[in-house]
Amino acid sequence: MHPFHEGVELLRMRYRELGMTRLLPPERVAIGTESADTAAWGGFHHPDQGYRHLQMRALITMYGPLTSTPQNPSLSALDLLRSYAHDCLHYGSYRSYRLRNGEIVRSQYGVNFRRPDGRTYSAPDTADTPGTRNLGVVMEGACDWEARAITRWAAERCGIQEPEGPDRFAYRDSTGRLNAADLRQLTSRHGLAPHAGAARFLESMGRYTTAVNTRYAWFLDDAGPEEGAELHAEVLRALISGSVSGLCAWLDVRHGPGEFLARFRTPSY
């Protein structure tokens, strides 16, 4: 667990700089280590893993087959760190709720907004779009970009080397090192892993990378060429505070007045 604890100390300092003073409490995190399904494969891309915003709880699974102790303890620790760092940002993001027809609905989450009738600020990206103009994708991408950067630092500090076999994809994914060749192999869905659960996990990794991480990287390159790290920090500050004024000002200086609205708001909003 040394890589996990090293990473938590880093994210504690980093998130404080961004305006987030309280991490996701450990008692709000459930970690699944076993499954009745012998084909189950745990980790960041497990289908039931994720942050439950209304309950303010995170469900995380141990990387690898959910039938025994970790096959690769160091990689499992890195995957756990990436998941926790990611869900800490979801937990720390600004949100507001209202009652609509007797149900609790979220009206703002981070920098994303929703009308009382359910209309969202941004339209979904089309399948053939290489980048994104959807605030939900931007926020998810920002959370994972930061989580993978912290995990990469912990791996380097602890001297964890890239493993061989299918585990190499999980290592590269957790540390933000997946390249175009890796993604082509993941999306081909052929010969990824002999274990059925691991193959499904890697296929899910490919879909998530294409839909979120690749599109977020495009957004940083498009909206902030040569200034991606600075823009990324502005996005994180905005989703934690719930105020888009700093992000809007940053975009206006580089692209002209009203860039945030022009880039993200759908006419139906």
Average pLDDT of span 171-197: 85
CA 35 to chain CA centroid, Å, is: 24
Average pLDDT of span 154-174: 94
Backbone conformation region of residue 220, classed left if phi is above 0, alpha if psi is from -120 to 50, else beta = alpha
Cα-based distances in Å from 243 to 30, 142, 143, 235, 238: 31, 16, 17, 10, 5
CB 109 within 8 A of CB 95: yes
CA 81 to chain CA centroid, Å, is: 12
Q: What is the 3-state secondary structure (H, E, C) of the chain?
A: CHHHHHHHHHHHHHHHHCCCCCCCCHHHEEEECCCCCCCCEECCCCCCCEEECCCCEEEEECCEECCCCCCCHHHHHHHHHHHHHHHHHHHHCCEEEEEECCEEEEEEECCEEECCCCCECCCCCCCCCCCCCCHHHHHHHHHHHHHHHHHHHHHHHHCCCCCCCCHHHHHHHHCCCCCHHHHHHHHHCCCCCCCHHHHHHHHHHHHHHHHHHHHHHHHHHHHCCCCHHHHHHHHHHHHHHCCCHHHHHHHHHHHCCCHHHHHHCCCCC
Report the share of the chain in percent with pLDDT over 70: 98
Tell me the two tokens of residue 267. 């006419």
Tens-digit pLDDT profile for residues 3-40? 999 999 999 999 999 999 999 999 999 999 999 988 89
pLDDT grade, residue 176 (50/70/90)? very high
**pLDDT on residue 1:** 87
Tens-digit pLDDT profile for residues 60-73? 999 999 987 888 99
Prediction pTM value: 0.94
Is pLDDT at 234 greater than 70 in this prediction?
yes
CB 45 within 8 A of CB 197: no
Tens-digit pLDDT profile for residues 94-127? 999 988 888 888 899 999 999 988 889 999 999 8
User: Cα-atom radius of gyration of the chain, to the nearest Å?
Assistant: 19
Average pLDDT of span 262-267: 95
- CA distance linking residue 178 with residue 248, whole number of Å: 31
**pLDDT on residue 190:** 65
Q: Which residue has the tokens 């991408």?
A: 141
Average pLDDT of span 175-191: 86
Higher pLDDT, 84 or 99: 84
Average pLDDT of span 142-165: 96
**pLDDT on residue 191:** 62
**pLDDT on residue 8:** 96
